[in-house]
Protein backbone atom coordinates (compact mmCIF):
# COMPACT_ATOMS: atom_id res chain seq x y z
CA UNK A 1 0.00 0.00 0.00
CA UNK A 2 1.20 3.55 -0.60
CA UNK A 3 3.02 5.25 2.28
CA UNK A 4 2.20 8.96 2.71
CA UNK A 5 5.05 11.05 4.08
CA UNK A 6 6.14 14.59 4.92
CA UNK A 7 9.68 15.63 5.83
CA UNK A 8 8.10 18.34 7.99
CA UNK A 9 7.70 15.86 10.86
CA UNK A 10 11.39 16.59 11.63
CA UNK A 11 10.49 20.16 12.64
CA UNK A 12 9.12 18.82 15.93
CA UNK A 13 12.09 17.53 17.88
CA UNK A 14 11.44 17.73 21.64
CA UNK A 15 14.57 16.85 23.59
CA UNK A 16 12.71 16.71 26.90
CA UNK A 17 9.30 16.64 28.54
CA UNK A 18 8.19 17.55 32.03
CA UNK A 19 6.81 14.61 34.00
CA UNK A 20 5.84 14.99 37.68
CA UNK A 21 7.75 18.25 37.59
CA UNK A 22 10.97 16.64 36.43
CA UNK A 23 12.66 17.16 33.07
CA UNK A 24 12.91 13.72 31.41
CA UNK A 25 14.22 12.81 27.94
CA UNK A 26 11.64 13.12 25.15
CA UNK A 27 10.86 9.88 23.33
CA UNK A 28 8.41 11.08 20.67
CA UNK A 29 11.36 11.92 18.41
CA UNK A 30 12.00 12.22 14.65
CA UNK A 31 13.95 8.94 14.63
CA UNK A 32 10.64 7.10 15.12
CA UNK A 33 9.33 8.02 11.67
CA UNK A 34 12.78 7.75 10.09
CA UNK A 35 13.18 4.16 11.34
CA UNK A 36 9.79 3.21 9.96
CA UNK A 37 10.67 4.84 6.64
CA UNK A 38 14.01 3.00 6.41
CA UNK A 39 12.34 -0.33 7.10
CA UNK A 40 9.51 0.19 4.59
CA UNK A 41 11.91 1.51 1.94
CA UNK A 42 13.96 -1.64 2.39
CA UNK A 43 10.79 -3.64 1.76
CA UNK A 44 10.16 -1.73 -1.49
CA UNK A 45 7.25 0.44 -0.34
CA UNK A 46 5.96 3.24 -2.58
CA UNK A 47 6.18 6.69 -0.94
CA UNK A 48 3.77 9.52 -1.72
CA UNK A 49 4.26 13.14 -0.62
CA UNK A 50 1.51 14.55 1.64
CA UNK A 51 -0.65 17.28 0.08
CA UNK A 52 -1.20 20.50 1.99
CA UNK A 53 -4.82 20.34 3.16
CA UNK A 54 -7.18 23.26 3.69
CA UNK A 55 -7.70 24.50 7.27
CA UNK A 56 -11.16 22.98 7.08
CA UNK A 57 -9.56 19.52 7.44
CA UNK A 58 -8.44 20.51 10.95
CA UNK A 59 -11.60 22.47 11.78
CA UNK A 60 -13.66 19.35 11.05
CA UNK A 61 -12.36 17.83 14.29
CA UNK A 62 -11.02 20.73 16.40
CA UNK A 63 -12.41 23.96 17.83
CA UNK A 64 -11.13 27.19 16.30
CA UNK A 65 -9.92 28.24 19.77
CA UNK A 66 -7.51 25.30 19.98
CA UNK A 67 -6.27 25.76 16.42
CA UNK A 68 -5.71 29.51 16.86
CA UNK A 69 -3.86 28.86 20.11
CA UNK A 70 -1.57 26.17 18.65
CA UNK A 71 -0.76 28.26 15.58
CA UNK A 72 0.71 31.10 17.67
CA UNK A 73 1.56 29.55 21.02
CA UNK A 74 5.32 29.55 20.55
CA UNK A 75 5.48 33.08 19.11
CA UNK A 76 3.40 34.33 22.05
CA UNK A 77 5.65 32.47 24.49
CA UNK A 78 8.76 34.00 22.98
CA UNK A 79 7.20 37.48 22.79
CA UNK A 80 6.37 37.23 26.51
CA UNK A 81 10.07 36.74 27.18
CA UNK A 82 9.66 33.28 28.69
CA UNK A 83 12.51 31.84 26.64
CA UNK A 84 14.86 34.29 28.45
CA UNK A 85 13.24 34.49 31.88
CA UNK A 86 12.88 31.85 33.29
CA UNK A 87 14.63 30.36 30.25
CA UNK A 88 12.01 27.80 29.16
CA UNK A 89 12.61 27.01 25.46
CA UNK A 90 9.28 25.18 24.99
CA UNK A 91 5.72 26.10 25.86
CA UNK A 92 4.94 24.24 29.10
CA UNK A 93 1.84 25.00 31.20
CA UNK A 94 1.93 25.74 34.91
CA UNK A 95 -1.70 26.56 35.74
CA UNK A 96 -4.79 24.64 34.64
CA UNK A 97 -8.34 26.09 34.73
CA UNK A 98 -9.72 23.13 36.68
CA UNK A 99 -13.55 22.96 36.56
CA UNK A 100 -13.61 23.15 40.36
CA UNK A 101 -12.27 26.72 40.23
CA UNK A 102 -15.50 28.02 38.73
CA UNK A 103 -19.08 28.44 39.81
CA UNK A 104 -21.59 26.27 37.92
CA UNK A 105 -22.07 27.67 34.42
CA UNK A 106 -19.08 29.97 34.70
CA UNK A 107 -16.53 29.63 31.90
CA UNK A 108 -12.85 30.57 32.13
CA UNK A 109 -11.95 33.63 30.08
CA UNK A 110 -8.86 33.40 27.86
CA UNK A 111 -5.85 34.05 30.11
CA UNK A 112 -3.91 37.22 29.25
CA UNK A 113 -0.48 35.81 30.16
CA UNK A 114 1.09 33.35 27.70
CA UNK A 115 2.42 31.34 30.65
CA UNK A 116 -1.10 30.81 32.01
CA UNK A 117 -2.82 30.43 28.64
CA UNK A 118 -0.88 27.22 27.97
CA UNK A 119 -2.86 25.32 30.62
CA UNK A 120 -6.12 26.33 29.00
CA UNK A 121 -5.36 24.10 26.00
CA UNK A 122 -2.75 21.57 27.18
CA UNK A 123 -4.00 19.05 29.71
CA UNK A 124 -0.57 17.80 30.73
CA UNK A 125 3.01 19.05 31.07
CA UNK A 126 4.63 16.39 28.93
CA UNK A 127 3.56 17.71 25.54
CA UNK A 128 5.98 20.62 24.94
CA UNK A 129 5.47 23.01 22.07
CA UNK A 130 8.64 24.18 20.31
CA UNK A 131 9.31 26.78 17.59
CA UNK A 132 8.04 24.60 14.72
CA UNK A 133 5.76 22.12 16.50
CA UNK A 134 2.68 23.67 14.91
CA UNK A 135 4.06 23.22 11.39
CA UNK A 136 5.00 19.60 12.10
CA UNK A 137 1.60 18.83 13.66
CA UNK A 138 -0.19 20.42 10.73
CA UNK A 139 1.91 18.35 8.30
CA UNK A 140 1.03 15.18 10.23
CA UNK A 141 -2.66 15.97 9.81
CA UNK A 142 -2.04 16.67 6.10
CA UNK A 143 -0.37 13.25 5.85
CA UNK A 144 -3.33 11.40 7.37
CA UNK A 145 -5.90 13.28 5.29
CA UNK A 146 -3.87 12.68 2.11
CA UNK A 147 -3.99 8.95 2.90
CA UNK A 148 -7.78 9.23 3.21
CA UNK A 149 -7.88 10.98 -0.18
CA UNK A 150 -5.91 8.12 -1.74
CA UNK A 151 -8.52 5.58 -0.73
CA UNK A 152 -11.29 7.91 -1.91
CA UNK A 153 -9.44 7.86 -5.25
CA UNK A 154 -9.62 4.07 -5.32
CA UNK A 155 -6.62 2.70 -3.40
CA UNK A 156 -7.81 -0.20 -1.20
CA UNK A 157 -5.50 0.93 1.62
CA UNK A 158 -2.97 3.65 2.44
CA UNK A 159 -0.60 4.24 5.35
CA UNK A 160 0.11 7.69 6.82
CA UNK A 161 3.63 7.55 8.29
CA UNK A 162 3.12 10.64 10.44
CA UNK A 163 4.22 12.19 13.70
CA UNK A 164 3.66 13.81 16.13
CA UNK A 165 0.83 11.36 16.89
CA UNK A 166 -2.73 12.52 17.47
CA UNK A 167 -5.18 10.16 19.18
CA UNK A 168 -5.06 11.87 22.61
CA UNK A 169 -6.28 15.24 21.24
CA UNK A 170 -9.93 16.19 21.77
CA UNK A 171 -11.84 19.00 20.05
CA UNK A 172 -10.57 21.59 22.49
CA UNK A 173 -7.42 20.37 24.25
CA UNK A 174 -4.21 18.49 23.59
CA UNK A 175 -1.80 16.26 25.48
CA UNK A 176 -0.18 12.84 25.55
CA UNK A 177 2.57 13.92 23.10
CA UNK A 178 -0.19 14.77 20.57
CA UNK A 179 -1.23 18.18 19.10
CA UNK A 180 -3.78 17.49 16.34
CA UNK A 181 -5.89 14.36 15.95
CA UNK A 182 -4.66 12.90 12.66
CA UNK A 183 -6.77 9.72 12.78
CA UNK A 184 -9.91 11.70 13.51
CA UNK A 185 -9.19 14.08 10.62
CA UNK A 186 -8.81 11.11 8.26
CA UNK A 187 -12.12 9.68 9.48
CA UNK A 188 -13.83 13.06 9.06
CA UNK A 189 -12.56 13.30 5.48
CA UNK A 190 -13.95 9.84 4.65
CA UNK A 191 -17.28 10.68 6.23
CA UNK A 192 -17.57 14.02 4.47
CA UNK A 193 -16.98 12.21 1.17
CA UNK A 194 -20.07 10.12 1.91
CA UNK A 195 -18.22 6.96 2.90
CA UNK A 196 -20.06 6.44 6.18
CA UNK A 197 -20.37 5.03 8.69
CA UNK A 198 -16.62 5.11 9.27
CA UNK A 199 -14.94 3.05 11.99
CA UNK A 200 -11.77 4.06 13.82
CA UNK A 201 -10.07 1.08 15.44
CA UNK A 202 -7.29 2.19 17.77
CA UNK A 203 -4.75 -0.52 18.56
CA UNK A 204 -2.22 1.74 20.29
CA UNK A 205 -1.37 0.52 23.78
CA UNK A 206 -3.17 3.57 25.23
CA UNK A 207 -6.81 4.56 24.99
CA UNK A 208 -7.68 6.78 22.02
CA UNK A 209 -9.40 9.24 24.34
CA UNK A 210 -9.25 12.18 21.94
CA UNK A 211 -10.86 10.30 19.08
CA UNK A 212 -13.52 8.95 21.44
CA UNK A 213 -14.30 12.47 22.69
CA UNK A 214 -14.42 14.01 19.20
CA UNK A 215 -16.96 11.50 17.91
CA UNK A 216 -18.81 10.84 21.19
CA UNK A 217 -22.45 10.14 20.45
CA UNK A 218 -21.89 10.54 16.69
CA UNK A 219 -23.17 7.32 15.16
CA UNK A 220 -21.62 8.14 11.76
CA UNK A 221 -18.18 7.40 13.23
CA UNK A 222 -17.66 4.29 15.34
CA UNK A 223 -14.67 4.53 17.68
CA UNK A 224 -13.18 1.36 19.13
CA UNK A 225 -9.99 1.08 21.17
CA UNK A 226 -8.04 -1.79 22.74
CA UNK A 227 -5.55 -0.69 25.36
CA UNK A 228 -4.01 -1.36 28.74
CA UNK A 229 -6.57 -0.90 31.51
CA UNK A 230 -6.50 2.70 32.81
CA UNK A 231 -7.91 1.23 36.02
CA UNK A 232 -4.55 -0.53 36.45
CA UNK A 233 -2.87 2.87 36.57
CA UNK A 234 -2.12 3.71 32.94
CA UNK A 235 -2.49 6.84 30.80
CA UNK A 236 -4.96 8.49 30.21
CA UNK A 237 -6.05 7.34 33.70
CA UNK A 238 -9.49 9.01 33.71
CA UNK A 239 -10.84 7.57 30.46
CA UNK A 240 -10.88 4.37 28.43
CA UNK A 241 -13.03 2.20 30.65
CA UNK A 242 -15.24 -0.47 29.12
CA UNK A 243 -18.46 1.11 30.37
CA UNK A 244 -17.93 4.24 28.20
CA UNK A 245 -20.33 3.52 25.38
CA UNK A 246 -21.06 6.86 23.67
CA UNK A 247 -24.63 6.09 22.60
CA UNK A 248 -23.48 2.79 21.12
CA UNK A 249 -20.94 4.27 18.72
CA UNK A 250 -18.00 3.65 21.06
CA UNK A 251 -16.37 0.50 22.38
CA UNK A 252 -13.39 0.07 24.68
CA UNK A 253 -11.63 -3.22 25.41
CA UNK A 254 -9.22 -3.05 28.34
CA UNK A 255 -6.39 -5.48 28.96
CA UNK A 256 -4.43 -6.29 32.09
CA UNK A 257 -0.74 -5.36 32.17
CA UNK A 258 1.29 -8.29 30.86
CA UNK A 259 -1.28 -9.30 28.23
CA UNK A 260 0.42 -10.83 25.18
CA UNK A 261 -0.57 -11.99 21.70
CA UNK A 262 -3.49 -14.25 22.68
CA UNK A 263 -5.48 -11.72 24.68
CA UNK A 264 -4.56 -8.76 22.47
CA UNK A 265 -5.37 -10.36 19.10
CA UNK A 266 -8.64 -11.70 20.56
CA UNK A 267 -9.53 -8.12 21.59
CA UNK A 268 -8.74 -6.87 18.06
CA UNK A 269 -10.99 -9.63 16.67
CA UNK A 270 -13.81 -8.58 18.95
CA UNK A 271 -13.46 -4.94 17.80
CA UNK A 272 -13.44 -6.09 14.17
CA UNK A 273 -16.68 -8.00 14.78
CA UNK A 274 -18.20 -4.91 16.35
CA UNK A 275 -17.18 -2.82 13.32
CA UNK A 276 -18.77 -5.36 11.01
CA UNK A 277 -21.99 -5.43 13.04
CA UNK A 278 -22.04 -1.62 12.92
CA UNK A 279 -22.15 -1.65 9.11
CA UNK A 280 -18.96 0.41 8.65
CA UNK A 281 -18.06 1.21 5.05
CA UNK A 282 -14.53 2.46 5.69
CA UNK A 283 -11.88 1.85 8.34
CA UNK A 284 -9.23 4.00 9.99
CA UNK A 285 -6.64 2.00 11.94
CA UNK A 286 -4.96 4.14 14.60
CA UNK A 287 -1.75 2.14 14.60
CA UNK A 288 0.30 2.43 17.74
CA UNK A 289 2.95 -0.23 18.09
CA UNK A 290 3.69 0.53 21.73
CA UNK A 291 1.77 -2.58 22.86
CA UNK A 292 4.90 -4.52 21.88
CA UNK A 293 6.93 -6.26 24.52
CA UNK A 294 10.05 -4.16 25.04
CA UNK A 295 8.35 -0.80 24.51
CA UNK A 296 9.03 1.41 27.52
CA UNK A 297 5.63 3.12 27.37
CA UNK A 298 3.34 0.17 28.06
CA UNK A 299 3.26 -3.11 30.00
CA UNK A 300 1.67 -5.12 27.16
CA UNK A 301 3.73 -7.93 25.62
CA UNK A 302 2.58 -8.20 22.00
CA UNK A 303 5.03 -9.65 19.44
CA UNK A 304 5.60 -8.91 15.75
CA UNK A 305 3.53 -12.04 14.99
CA UNK A 306 0.72 -10.58 17.06
CA UNK A 307 0.79 -7.38 15.00
CA UNK A 308 0.68 -9.40 11.77
CA UNK A 309 -2.31 -11.37 13.07
CA UNK A 310 -4.10 -8.16 14.07
CA UNK A 311 -3.39 -6.78 10.60
CA UNK A 312 -4.95 -9.86 8.97
CA UNK A 313 -8.04 -9.51 11.15
CA UNK A 314 -8.50 -5.84 10.22
CA UNK A 315 -7.69 -6.40 6.53
CA UNK A 316 -10.19 -9.27 6.54
CA UNK A 317 -13.00 -6.76 7.07
CA UNK A 318 -12.59 -5.96 3.36
CA UNK A 319 -13.05 -2.22 3.91
CA UNK A 320 -11.17 0.70 2.34
CA UNK A 321 -8.55 1.26 5.02
CA UNK A 322 -6.46 4.22 6.13
CA UNK A 323 -3.70 3.33 8.57
CA UNK A 324 -2.46 6.27 10.66
CA UNK A 325 0.68 6.07 12.79
CA UNK A 326 0.20 6.75 16.49
CA UNK A 327 2.61 5.62 19.25
CA UNK A 328 5.53 3.18 19.36
CA UNK A 329 8.81 4.14 21.00
CA UNK A 330 11.19 1.18 20.73
CA UNK A 331 13.40 2.37 17.89
CA UNK A 332 14.92 -1.08 17.43
CA UNK A 333 11.63 -2.71 16.48
CA UNK A 334 9.26 0.09 15.41
CA UNK A 335 9.95 -0.40 11.67
CA UNK A 336 9.39 -4.13 11.75
CA UNK A 337 6.21 -3.88 13.84
CA UNK A 338 4.65 -1.40 11.43
CA UNK A 339 5.73 -3.46 8.44
CA UNK A 340 4.21 -6.65 9.89
CA UNK A 341 0.92 -4.89 10.56
CA UNK A 342 0.69 -3.43 7.05
CA UNK A 343 1.62 -6.80 5.51
CA UNK A 344 -1.05 -8.46 7.64
CA UNK A 345 -3.68 -5.95 6.47
CA UNK A 346 -2.80 -6.67 2.83
CA UNK A 347 -2.91 -10.44 3.43
CA UNK A 348 -6.26 -10.16 5.21
CA UNK A 349 -7.70 -8.10 2.37
CA UNK A 350 -6.65 -10.73 -0.17
CA UNK A 351 -8.63 -13.27 1.89
ZN1 LIG B 1 0.43 4.89 23.06
Q: Are 183 and 217 contacting, i.e. CB atoms less than 8 angstroms apart?
A: no
Domain of 245, CATH number, reads 3.40.800.20
For residues 92 and 118, the answer to whether their CB atoms sit within 8 Å is yes
Residue in 178, 175, 205, 177 with CA at minimum distance from that of residue 16: 177
Q: How many domains does the chain have?
A: 2
Distance from residue 91's CA to the centre of ligand 1 (Å): 22
Q: Which domain holds residue 97?
A: 65-121
CA 351 to ligand 1 centroid distance, Å: 29
Tell me: do 75 and 35 sit in the same domain: no
pLDDT tens digits, 84-139: 999 999 999 999 999 999 999 999 999 999 999 999 999 999 999 999 999 999 99
Q: Are residues 95 and 163 in the same domain?
A: no
Same domain, yes or no: 249 and 260: yes
Distance 250 CA to ligand 1 centre (A): 19
Helices (H), 205-303: 209-214, 261-277
If you average pLDDT over every residue of the chain, what do you get?
Answer: 97
Residue 247, pLDDT above cutoff 90: no
Looking at the structure, do residues 106 and 25 belong to the same domain, yes or no?
A: no
Identify whether residues 223 and 143 lie together within a single domain: yes
Give the pLDDT confidence score for residue 10 in this predicted structure.
98
Helix/strand number for the chain, H first, E second: 10, 10
SS3 assignment, position 303: coil
Query: What number of other Cβ atoms are within 10 A of residue 56's Cβ?
Result: 10
Mean pLDDT of 31-55: 98
Average pLDDT rounded to a whole number, residues 23-30:
96
The DSSP letter of residue 20 is T
106 Cα–ligand 1 center, Å: 34
Please say whether the beta carbons of 316 and 184 come within 8 A.
no
Residues 235 and 297 placed together within one structural domain of the fold: yes
pLDDT digit string, tens, across residues 184-216:
999 999 999 998 899 999 999 999 999 999 999
What pLDDT score does 196 carry?
A: 81
Contact 62, 169 (CB under 8 A): yes
pTM, whole model, 2 decimals?
0.98
* Distance from the alpha carbon of residue 165 to the mean position of ligand 1, in angstroms: 9
283-342 pLDDT tens trace: 999 999 999 999 999 999 999 999 999 999 999 999 999 999 999 999 999 999 999 999
User: What span, in angstroms and rounded, lies between the C-alpha atoms of 261 and 294?
Assistant: 14
**Residue 329 lies inside a defined structural domain of this protein:** yes
- CA 60 to ligand 1 center in whole angstroms: 23
Which positions are catalytic? 168
Amino acid sequence: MPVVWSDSHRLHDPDAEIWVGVRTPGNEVPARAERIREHLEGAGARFVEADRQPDEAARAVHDTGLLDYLARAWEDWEAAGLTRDPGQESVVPYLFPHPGLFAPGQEPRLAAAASARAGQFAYDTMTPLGPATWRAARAALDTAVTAADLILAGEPAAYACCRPPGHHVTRSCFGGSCYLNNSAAAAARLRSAGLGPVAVVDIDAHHGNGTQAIFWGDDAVLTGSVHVDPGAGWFPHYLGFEEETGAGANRNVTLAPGTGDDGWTEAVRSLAGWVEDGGARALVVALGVDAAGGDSESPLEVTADGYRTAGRTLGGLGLPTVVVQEGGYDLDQIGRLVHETLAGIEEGARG
